[in-house]
Structure 1
Amino acid sequence: MSDDASTAEEIMAGVYRALREHGYADLTMQDIADACSKSKSLLHYHYDTKEDLLVAFLDHLITTFERRAAAGADRPATERLAAFIAWFGFDPDETDREHFHIALLELRSQGPFNDRIRSRLQRSDRVFRGTVAEILEQGIEEGTFEPVDVQETAALLVATLDGARTRQITLDEMDVDGDTYTRTVARTVIDRVIDPMLAAGVELPDVETVEVLLPRDEPVSIAPADRMDGREA
């Protein structure tokens, strides 16, 4: 790995840790520098402003998701779909992950007022819906899914799962049995949407044990081809 790629990886991991610890509103370049053991001047060498760095971080998250989704393309469609659903769920004791998603929610709230952030959110939505649509098409070709409108079904799944995660982290929502809201919604989605489109004799893998699309901890490594600076291409 080149020095630039290694530095970029360390900075992105630092952004992740700093967002998790400080949230979005109070985050400073010094917080990020401290989290990645780099100097603030080095961060400003690569990224003019905090916004530049956070926009680069959003790009990194989306690209990481795309890579992991593509890497799992040889898995059966049922397994890939279960992994996608599982990625949205988390338990109450996963406090670091919850804090990170709260910070992301703060960042996403800037979408209506910031064109650069909004464009990344739009890209993220396209990637999520496109991933599900491609999985559904694969399952139909394999004969494990009955024919459905893949675009409509993908939009429904993404909106439902993302909405459940937002509700859990903002309202501390739990169901009547004490389970997390994301897991309850995941089960409902499987019962009401996924199971009816499975071909006879086909079952969806257990979302509690399937390997998720992304790791639960820090973002995975950046490939050397990733841009180091936060300036627009």
Structure 2
Amino acid sequence: MSEQPSAADEIMDGVYRALRAHGYADVTMQDIADECSKSKSLLHYHYDTKEDLLVAFLDRVITDSERRIAAHADDPPAERLAGFIGWFVFEPGAVDREAFHIALLELRTQGPFNEPIREQLARSDRLLRGTVVDILESGVEEGVFRDVDVEETAALLVATLDGARTRQITLSRGANADDGNGFGDDSDADGSNADGSDADGSDADGSDADGSGPRPSDDTDGVTEIAEPDPTYTRTVAEATFRRIVEPLLAEGAESPSLEAGIAAMEPVDEGGSE
């Protein structure tokens, strides 16, 4: 007989679904109550504010991550490292996972202003870097990895993977606009307003609205390059991490681990926030 989830588990699963649907800034206690089939008054009985509930949710996410990492503690070091790298890969079409991490990114921006959130974020950072340090130390002891500065290498690897994830989730989605062209209702598809002036307040001839004259081009050719969103960026960076960090790290004769196996080993679950 399967064990029924506790009320606390149901609430946390509701937070997870509500954050995916609404994001941090817009989610309300009522949204969370609706997602977990609990009353708003029950949520307030356990948590005074939305902030208290979200801090508890962060604690849950990090605790789940600790459990998942611990489950692979006895795996060979090279496989553990591949799994850690694979954990950060977002495959195209992982819309729900991206939506959840966008909400987490919003939460991270509160760190400088909110001590309870900052404490959880610091705990998460210690977990990630500490995991890599442990993997590297084990690999060096077993002769799988070369003798390197494990703290420095861990900091570099975590910063690289976390930065790639942040870039993908913030750039992979197109602009959302009411009329579908990426601009507001008063803008044409080329970004100009109905009166012929540009959306940024300049006139159609390129001069500023205050009459100060044409603005100099940011590019000598008169063309501004805009990076296209890349839905496979985390995979690209993971593959580069293998070439630039993992392979040079391997001791002579050590077999290179598989990124695909690493992705499969740490594939995120869909519910409960174990991301």
Give the counterpart of 2:240 among 171, 188, 192.
Answer: 188
How far apart are the structure 1 equivalents of 2:24 and 2:273?
21
Matched, 1:51 2:51: yes
**Partner residue in 2 for 1:229:** none
On the 8 A contact 2:77/2:139 being kept in 1, the answer is yes
| Helix, strand or coil at the partner of 1:182 | helix
Q: What secondary structure sits across from 1:25 in the alignment?
A: helix
Change (3 A) 1:220 1:115: closer
For residue 218 of structure 1, report the CA deviation from its aligned partner: 1.8
Give the CA deviation at 1:179: 6.1
State how far apart, in whole Å, the 2-side matches of 1:212 and 1:56 are.
27
Secondary structure of the 1:187 match is helix
Give yes or no for contact 1:140–1:146 (8 Å, CA) kept in 2: yes
Q: Is the Cα–Cα contact under 8 Å of residues 83 and 261 in structure 2 kept in the other structure?
A: no
Given that 2:91 and 2:232 are in contact with CA atoms closer than 8 Å, whether structure 1 keeps it comes out as yes
Separation in structure 2 between the aligned mates of residue 183 and residue 143 of structure 1, nearest angstrom: 28
Quick one: distance in 2 between partners of 1:204 and 1:102? Answer: 33
Q: 1:204 to 1:64 in 2, by over 3 A?
A: farther
Relative CO higher for 1 or 2, CA cutoff 8 Å, sep ≥ 6?
1
CA deviation digits over 1:29-77, x for unaligned, max 9?
A: 1111111111111111111111001000111111111111112111111
> Contact 2:128–2:158 (CA<8 Å) still a contact in 1?
yes
Give the conservation status (yes or no) of the 8 Å contact 1:139–1:145: yes
Partner-residue secondary structure (3-state), 1:13: helix
Task: Give the alignment of 1:102-181 within 5 angstroms.
Answer: 102-172=102-172, 180-181=232-233
C-alpha RMSD over aligned residues: 2.1
- Specify the code of the residue in structure 2 equivalent to 1:193: I
Flag as ranges the 4+ runs of structure 1 deviating above 4 A: none
Q: Partners in 2 of 1:155 and 1:61 — Cα distance?
A: 21
Matched letter for residue 45 of structure 2: Y
Unaligned runs of 5+ in 2: 174-226
1:40 aligns with 40
What is the CA-CA distance between 1:202 and the residue it aligns to? Answer: 2.1
Q: How many residues align?
A: 218
- CA deviations on 1:192-220 (whole Å, 9 max, x unpaired) are 11100101232333222333446231237
SS in 2 for 1:125: helix
What TM-score, normalized by structure 2, do the two folds share? 0.74
The question of whether the paired residues in 1 share the 8 Å contact of 2:30 and 2:40 is answered with: yes
Asked if the contact 1:68–1:214 (Cα under 8 Å) also holds between the matched residues in 2, the reply is no
Structure-2 separation of matches of 1:86 and 1:106: 23
Report the residue type matching 2:269 in the other structure.
Answer: R
Aligned pairs for 1:89-100 (under 5 A) are 89-100=89-100
Deviation of residue 8 (structure 1)?
A: 1.2
Q: Aligned AA for 1:100?
A: F
Q: Is the 8 A contact 1:65 1:214 kept in 2?
A: no
Amino acid at match of 2:81: L
Give 1:78's aligned amino acid: A
Q: Measured at CA, do residues 220 and 104 of structure 1 come closer, stay the same or move farther in structure 2, by a change above 3 Å?
A: closer
Answer yes or no: is 1:203 the counterpart of 2:203: no
Q: How far apart, CA to CA, are the structure 2 residues paired with 1:125 and 1:214? A: 20
Distance in 2 of aligned mates of 1:102 and 1:186: 20
The CA distance in 1 between the partners of 2:85 and 2:151, in whole Å, is: 16
2:270 is matched with 217
Distance in 2 between residues matched to 1:133 and 1:212, nearest whole Å: 19
Larger radius of gyration: 2
Name the SS for the 1:12 alignment partner. Answer: helix
1:15·1:57 contact (CA, 8 Å) conserved in 2?
yes
